[in-house]
Structure 1
Amino acid sequence: MARLDRLARCIRDTQRMDGDFVMRNYRKLNSGLGLAIVALGTLAIAGCWASDAEEKPASVGQPEGGHGEEGGGHIEMTAAERSAKGVKSIALGMRGLTGEFIAPGEVTANRYKTAQVAPRISAQIVERHIVRGEKVEEGAPLVTLSSVEMAEAQGALIINDKEWRRVRNLGRDVVSEKRFVEADVARQQAHAKLLSFGMAEQEVAALLKTGDASKATGRFLLFAPQAGTVVRDDFTLGEFVDPGRVLVEISDETTVWVEARLTAEQAQRIAVGAAARVKSSVGHWEEGKVIQLQHALDETTRTLMARIEIGNADDDFHAGQFVDAAISVGAGDEALALPESAVVLMDGAPTVFRIEGDEIEPVSVETGAASGGWIEIASGVAEGDEIVTEQTFLLKSLIQKTKMGEGHGH
């Protein structure tokens, strides 16, 4: 179409030129120059065809930098840029294709990687060191408390420690064996009492190092027993709290649980270790597996709970979210397979996006059976190729824009 437009414009220009020439030489036309003028117009039109033919190779030539296989075209995108745009990939590999069913579920914290922090004695909260949502390392200070019981225990340790040092310096030759043992035991008991009250070992050591009874103020810290995210901090400065009151809860959210609710018939079809996947609120499916099966029906819902453990490195899942869980049943043949989200249609053909270095190129593939959110790849790419599994429609749009630009950038 563009070629015909250029030809039409050329012909119109030629007609205007020939018309002007004819008017200036009207009398000469009757004297035999008419044939020459007509020939001149014919040559001009032929020139239009020649000019268009010369331009044609540039419009269909490949862009600088080459094309990917099959569909053609590629884009440059570094690993950092892919991460920022949410482009994820996996290495193409063998996978057993099985059936699955969908069940509703709720995300919960991984209780095996969650810790609660509570005082062991009555105390008053005097200082906060964390806020909810904050990530902390193991041993990080959480809360400072103050307690009369702790002050008495701290003072008793300092007294018993000094007495023990005095008896030890005198030696067994000066003091009786009974006195020597009593002093030693009294110090150890005072030390153990502080630890049992919740004072950390490093704080006890610091107190003993000073040897100053004025430091027995009753203040002590609660420390993080593990690394993770603060998911609970239900306390107020100045508040008096009883023993066992949970002040802080820390959870390692790199993995979470999903408690899927199954009918009795569904529960009979799966076993611990069955593959599963869970859909996040942004449409991303995360792979996991069934780690536990409940053996008693819920009296209200008459369902059985299947506990699924999934990775949560991208922080897509949080306790309390309702999700859909797809659980695999049965066993199938192994085949090269990709998540269904990895395959898109380009120019009417199933296509995947292969990553090689910083280049992403579309590759036409032949697909086979689909099951459990995965689809067999019969040909087009090889085992081990890095294939994009998320943001494929973004890449399709970028490549199509690139190809459109190639066709009109002349």
Structure 2
Amino acid sequence: MTVAYASGEHDEHDGHDEKSSHEKSGHDEAGHDESSHDENSHEEHGHDEGDHEGNHEAEHEKNGHDKIDHDEADHKDNGHDEAGHDESGHGEAGHEDEEQSVKLTAKQLEVAGIVVKAINPQSVATEISAPGEVMLNEYKTTSVTPRVSSQVVKRHVKLGDVITNGQPLVTLSSVDMATAQGNLLVTGREWQRVKKLGRKVVSAQRYTEARVAHEQAKARVLAFGMTAKQAESFLKSGDASKANGTFQLLATQAGTVIFDRFIVGELIEPGTKLFIISDESVLWVEAKLTPAQAALVAPGSPANIVAGGNLFFGKVVQVHHALDEETRTLGVRIEIANPDDVLHPGVFVLAQISSINLEQVLAVPVNAVLRSPDGDWAIFIEHEAGEFEPQEIELLRTVGDLAVIEGIDSGTRVVTQGAFFVQSELAKSGFEIHNH
């Protein structure tokens, strides 16, 4: 009886302990660590491992909950990092915007000779556009022809050669020249003898006749094509064998051989064109204007010539007075420099001539306008002292050394001198930024 009572008491106590263990396990799940106390209770009362397994499972659930919380926290942290990364990318975009301007020091501005001016409307001549054709400058062109019937012995230059003044062009042989050369030798010797004897020994008539005969003989060889220097050298040699009619035609100006239609051995009549030599460093453009347009143009008016994408600067040198009977237009002659030998006679061009009428426009020096990386025209504007930014503009036309533009407001501060240096510094800074 006593034993049975004791056994029932123990069962009741076990139930109480089990309940207490569950409560404690639930309490553990709430975050309290009393697992060691539960284990001691189980060992005291001799329980099997079921309750312990329940506690272990509860702790496992707790650990799993902690892991999820940790993963979510990591995920949130990673999401924060990604957001930061996006912000960093946004920062790069802002950095790229900064590449559009360049800051120069006062020392750089001084060394490079940078000049900045506010651009305001100014009076500029209106423009007249007309077709034109490149022509030789006839004031800088010579035609080489023989003055006596001759045969071509030797050619010394060919088409396209650039020659100097006095350079041999061709060697000719002429019967008429041979007679003239022989006569020059005879009269030359006679004149030297009479001159040596003097007026006191020879009569005045003989003295005069000898002198006149010699001068006439010299004039004849010069007329036939020899130069004074060639004739003098021929006389000094005194060699009769050289009176064979051979002589050289020399260039009378520097320039380029643009015509040479003959062959060696050919018989050439007087006046036949052997060469045309022209100085193409300065050419003419003949533009055709209506009478109304021509009335607005005067000698000295600036003119631009557009040819094959190239721009040449010149000025009007003559306005014709007679109308072309077929086109009913007036010719306007424009003189242009051609130092690089880009233009040649016969090329059709567009002439842009400044008229005597004026208009108010925004204009900058031609050198202030540059090509941007995408091929558009651009200038550099100053926002703050020493800070410059490229500004794309529309180039309307050029008038002399001025470029008429659109795309900026009146009063805008523009780099009028040293724009190329500013462009180079901008490109340099952009290169460094992209290589960070």
Q: TM-score, normalised by structure 1?
A: 0.70
The answer (yes or no) to whether the contact 1:232–1:250 under 8 Å persists in 2 is: yes
Amino acid at match of 1:285: L
State how 1:258-337 maps to structure 2 within 5 Å: 258-281=285-308, 283-329=309-355, 330-333=357-360, 336-337=363-364
Query: Partner residue of 2:414?
Result: 381
Aligned equivalents of 2:137, 2:87: Cα separation in 1: 69
Residue 31 of structure 1, CA deviation: 8.0
Query: Partner residue of 1:196?
Result: 223
**Per-residue CA shift, 1:373-410, capped at 9, x if unaligned?**
73257533344x0446xxxxxx89x977984x656535
The answer (yes or no) to whether the contact 1:97–1:370 under 8 Å persists in 2 is: no
The answer (yes or no) to whether the contact 1:139–1:226 under 8 Å persists in 2 is: yes
Higher relative contact order (CA 8 A, sep 6+): 1
The answer (yes or no) to whether the contact 1:145–1:220 under 8 Å persists in 2 is: yes
Aligned equivalents of 1:29, 1:201: Cα separation in 2: 125
- Pair 1:110 & 2:173 matched: no
**Per-residue CA shift, 1:287-306, capped at 9, x if unaligned?**
22221112222122222111
Residue 335 of structure 1, CA deviation: 6.1
Query: Partner residue of 1:14?
Result: none
The answer (yes or no) to whether the contact 1:293–1:307 under 8 Å persists in 2 is: yes
Residue 211 of structure 1, CA deviation: 0.4
Aligned equivalents of 2:428, 2:200: Cα separation in 1: 95
Amino acid at match of 1:180: Y
Residue 325 of structure 1, CA deviation: 1.1
Residue 168 of structure 1, CA deviation: 2.6
State how 1:349-368 maps to structure 2 within 5 Å: 351-352=378-379, 363-364=389-390
Query: Partner residue of 1:22?
Result: none
Flag the 1:136–1:362 CA change in 2: closer, same or farther, 3 A.
farther
- Count of residues in Structure 1 that have an aligned counterpart in Structure 2: 347
Amino acid at match of 1:294: H
The answer (yes or no) to whether the contact 1:256–1:312 under 8 Å persists in 2 is: yes
What SS is found at the alignment partner of 1:300?
coil
Flag the 1:274–1:126 CA change in 2: closer, same or farther, 3 A.
same
Match for 1:123 among 141, 150, 162? 150
Match for 2:283 among 256, 271, 274? 256
The answer (yes or no) to whether the contact 1:365–1:380 under 8 Å persists in 2 is: no
Flag the 1:29–1:228 CA change in 2: closer, same or farther, 3 A.
farther
Residue 96 of structure 1, CA deviation: 4.6
Residue 308 of structure 1, CA deviation: 1.2
The answer (yes or no) to whether the contact 2:361–2:404 under 8 Å persists in 1 is: no
Moved over 6 A (4+): 28-31, 35-62, 91-95, 366-369, 398-402
Flag the 1:285–1:37 CA change in 2: closer, same or farther, 3 A.
closer
Aligned equivalents of 1:334, 1:209: Cα separation in 2: 70
Residue 321 of structure 1, CA deviation: 0.8
- Pair 1:185 & 2:212 matched: yes
State how 1:23-172 maps to structure 2 within 5 Å: 32=63, 34=67, 71-72=101-102, 96-172=123-199
Residue 38 of structure 1, CA deviation: 6.8
Aligned equivalents of 2:142, 2:164: Cα separation in 1: 13
The answer (yes or no) to whether the contact 1:363–1:381 under 8 Å persists in 2 is: no
Aligned equivalents of 2:395, 2:242: Cα separation in 1: 73
Identity of aligned residues (%): 39
What SS is found at the alignment partner of 1:380?
strand
Residue 213 of structure 1, CA deviation: 0.4
RMSD in angstroms over aligned alpha carbons? 4.2
Moved more, 269-278 or 201-210: 269-278
Amino acid at match of 1:314: D
Residue 49 of structure 1, CA deviation: 7.7
What SS is found at the alignment partner of 1:97?
strand
Query: Partner residue of 1:21?
Result: none
Q: Where is the helix percentage greater, Structure 1 or Structure 2? A: 2
What SS is found at the alignment partner of 1:209?
helix
Aligned equivalents of 2:150, 2:175: Cα separation in 1: 8
Aligned equivalents of 1:101, 1:407: Cα separation in 2: 47
**Per-residue CA shift, 1:153-196, capped at 9, x if unaligned?**
11111111112222233333433232222222222221121111
Amino acid at match of 1:204: A
Aligned equivalents of 2:419, 2:75: Cα separation in 1: 58
Amino acid at match of 1:179: R
Query: Partner residue of 2:267?
Result: 240
Aligned equivalents of 1:256, 1:187: Cα separation in 2: 43
Residue 225 of structure 1, CA deviation: 1.0
